[in-house]
Every structure is written in C-alpha cells, then in structure tokens.
Structure 1
Amino acid sequence: MPQIMLMKAEYLVLLSLLLTTVVITNAFYIKKQFYPSVVYLTKSSTSLAVLYVQAFVFVILFGKLVQRIFLGQLRAIETEHLYDRAWFSITETCLAFTVFRDDFSPRFVALFAILLFLKCFHWLLEDRVDYMEQSPVLGTIFHARVVGLLSVLCLLDYLFISSAYMHTIAKGASVQIVFGFEYAILLVSVISTAINIGRIANNGNV
C-alpha cells in the first residue's frame, strides 16, 4: 500500500511539472519576451492555478526533505495528529483572515503557505518531544535533530514576528497583524517545548 501511494505521488509530481512546463512554454511562445510572458502568466487564471499547484508540490517536497533531516520517519500517531491539526488550523486561520479579505494577493497566499508549513513542524516537534518523555533510551542523533529543529523554528518565528511588526509600523493595520499574532503564538509554543525538553533532561530521560 505505501508503495502504491508513493507511485501515485510521483505521478502527480511529474504531471504538475509537465503542466507547468506547458503553461510557461505557451506563454513564451505567445509573447516572445520575458517580461510580457510573466505578465501574461500572472493575468491568466488558468496559468496561475497551474503555478499555484506547482508551488504547492515544491512546498510538499521541501517539507519532506526537512522532515528527513530533522525528524526522520514519522510515526503513525504523528501523521494522524498532523492531518487533524492541519484541517482545523486552515479553517480557523481562514476565518481570521476574512477581516482582511481586501489584502488577498499572491504574496498573501505565499505567506499563508509558509505559516501553515511552519505550524506543521511545530506540531511535529511537540509530538516528538512527547515521544522523548515516553522513550528514555534514545540516541545522540535523535536529540541533536530535536534541538536543531527547535532552534530553527525559534529563529524563524522571531524573524516573521519582526517582519510583521515593522510592516505594521510602516504601513498601518493589515493582514500582517494576524500573521504576527500567529507567529507569536508559535514562538510561545516553541519556548514551552524547550522548557519541556529541559524538564525531561532534568528528570534524566535525556
């Protein structure tokens, strides 16, 4: 069953690459030059849809790479928790963003995708730390991965909070306020996870 799912995923990746190649080639064939072709792609709803799908595929592939580096193979319970939280988070965040629906743009879609991407790894980190507490016999690589992921997430949360703050100060209230609060919540969760790791270490489980 996993092999069948993997083959389907590979076919979807190849299909998205093929569609993207066709769309970009068609734009250059019609407009002949780079800038007019880019304008054509951004004005065509069909082309944008294909490019969004391709971007989504790249995000998934990058997420798989980050997962392999910092987490390795996910446990079944971690995957289940990830899917459950993702659907709830998407619904909750979309409701919050309706206040700033006039700010919707490709940039907004990109920022939303980044937020959801980082949320997923915050959740996985929490589950992995819970696993640390239940399994006292773990290798050095496991602990290095967890600390590395925690450090990266903490840094990214801080950078996005700073960016949202500076944008709000410069241009006033916008959707960046929601992003700022979302990342502030994530930063608090990372700090809480770090404290939990310290508690586990103090109890001799690390």
Structure 2
Amino acid sequence: MRITAGLVTVASFVATAATIFNAFLINKQFYPAMVYLTKSNASMAVIYFQALVLVYISFQIIRSIFFGDLRAAEAEHLSERAWHAVLETCLAFTVFRDDFSPLFVLQFVFLLLIKSFHWLADDRVDMMERSPVITIKFHVRIMAIIGLLSGVDSYLVSHAYFTTILKGASSQIVFGFEYAILLTMVLHVTIKYILHMHDHRMRTLQSWDNKAVYLLYAELIINFVRCMLYGAFTSVILRVHTFPLFAVRPFYLSIRSLHKAFFDVVNSRRAINMMNTYVFFF
C-alpha cells in the first residue's frame, strides 16, 4: 500500500481526535483533560505531528495561490534547498540550545516556510526569460508574493533587532540574520523581475542587449551585500559566543559567488570594449 500525503493527513486528524477524546474520557472535565494532554509525551507527540500536518496544508494552500502547480525543476530545487537549509539551521541553533522551546520550534518551521517561498519566487522569475508569453495573472502573483515576502522579512528583521536590544543575545540573532539574507534575495528577485519585464516589452520593438549587463551588476551588488552581512554576523557571534562554524559554508559560497560575479563583470566589460574597438577599427 502506497503512503500518500492525503493518507497521512487523514491519519493525523484521526489520531488527534482519538487522543483528545481519550483525554476527555479519562478526566471528564476540560482543565484536567488539558493538563493530561500536556503531561503525556505520547499525546504531545500526536499534537506536534498534527501541527506539522497543518503547516504542510497551509504551505500547499499558499503555494497554490501564489505559484499554482510547480514544475518538475522547481520541485527538485525546492527539495534540495530545503534539505541543506534544515541541516544548516539546525547546526546554527545548537549555539542557542538553551532557548529551545515550542515557540522556538514554531519560529524555526516558519523560517523554513518563508525560505521555501523565496526559492519558489526566485525560480519562477527566472522562468520569465524562457517564456514567450507572460500573463497578467503571472504578474499579479509575482508582485503579490514579492510585496508579502519583503514585508514579512522587514518586520521580522526589526523584531529580532529590538528583541536582542531589550533582552540580550539569544536565538533571535540567528533569526534576524536569516531574514536579512532573505531580504537581499527579495531585492534580487525584484531587480530580475523588473529587468525581465522590461525585456519582454522591448522584444516587440527591438532587442535589448543591456539586460545581461544589468543582471551581472545586480548579482555583484547582492553578493557583496550578503558577504557584508555574513561578516557582520560572524563578528557579532564571536563577541557573544564562539566561532560560528555553521556560517562557514554559506559564507564561502557567498564569497565564491561574489568572486564569480566580479570576474563576469570584468570579462563582460573587456568583451564590450574589444567589440567597440573592432567596430571602430573597421
């Protein structure tokens, strides 16, 4: 028998209903039943699993609203990035293991969901370059998700900042840093969307050769900002804790991307100058 997402969802609802019914059957009253549920490890495991199922359902609903059906490449990229993100974030939060609580788990799951929507928005905007026709529905969805993600990221960065100022160093440092990185991704997606949209409008009139150059400069600036954020985060963590080993891999990837973007810009300028010199010579 094949286990599907629908079967797991139904089973979780049945298990949760049976757990709550059993608690009321034993204790007869509301308050003792709630105490029984919170004190029972098995009951809390069922409730936590039900919460994860509800989060999954919410993700699917929001995904269908803003992105519709995912393409095979988008689903593959999402699963690969999610796996690495879970490992890196879990490693990051070992620094603040004393802050572990149900609220902490909720914030972690919410961070993973927000990251997923950022990755989907990035892939969907990149698809514009390969699509001959872009519908109004596509533009509405992209502008809506960009506005939503930028608002969420900005609010959570400010919340993490003020929480750290008032209560001292905690896991909010990691959350704030993660949302700051995601905010740079939203900025990059917005720039690419504007450039692709302008390119689609120019196709009916004439070819627009400067789009690739603008994309290179945008990638260079965004990667530079990310490297600065990683450097600032590392210096802050070194002051309040030990060396952030979990930041080594993303920091290295950002530096490598910055290095590649810089040389791409340099090579692009060289190629343009050589072509201009060649045309002028003839």
TM-score (norm 2): 0.68
Runs of 4+ with >3 A deviation: none
Counterpart CA distance in 1 for 2:162 and 2:16 is 35
Counterpart CA distance in 2 for 1:18 and 1:36 is 22
Q: Which runs of 5+ in 1 are unaligned?
A: none
1:156 aligns with 2:145: no
Q: Which runs of 5+ in 2 are unaligned?
A: 203-282
Counterpart CA distance in 2 for 1:184 and 1:136 is 34
Counterpart CA distance in 2 for 1:99 and 1:43 is 28
Counterpart CA distance in 2 for 1:143 and 1:8 is 33
Aligned-residue CA RMSD in angstroms?
Answer: 1.7
Report the CA distance between 1:87 and its aligned residue: 0.5
Report the CA distance between 1:205 and its aligned residue: 5.4
Q: Which residue of 1 aligns with 2:253?
A: none
Report the CA distance between 1:135 and its aligned residue: 1.0
**Which structure's relative contact order is higher, taking Cα pairs within 8 Å and 6+ residues apart?**
1
Q: What is the letter of the counterpart of residue 197 of structure 1?
A: Y
Counterpart CA distance in 2 for 1:38 and 1:170 is 33
Counterpart CA distance in 2 for 1:11 and 1:115 is 26
1:179 aligns with 2:171: no
Report the CA distance between 1:129 and its aligned residue: 0.4
Q: Which residue of 2 aligns with 1:112?
A: 108
Counterpart CA distance in 1 for 2:191 and 2:168 is 35
Bigger-Rg structure (1/2):
2
Q: Which residue of 2 aligns with 1:145?
A: 141
Superposition map of 1:115-126 within 5 A: 115-126=111-122
Give aligned pairs, total: 202
Counterpart CA distance in 2 for 1:187 and 1:81 is 20
Q: What is the letter of the counterpart of residue 168 of structure 1?
A: T
Report the CA distance between 1:44 and its aligned residue: 1.9
Superposition map of 1:24-103 within 5 A: 24-103=20-99
Q: What is the letter of the counterpart of residue 121 of structure 2?
A: L
1:96-146: CA deviations, max 9, x gaps?
000011111111111100000111010000000000122131111011111
Alignment partner for residue 198 of structure 1, among 194, 217, 221? 194
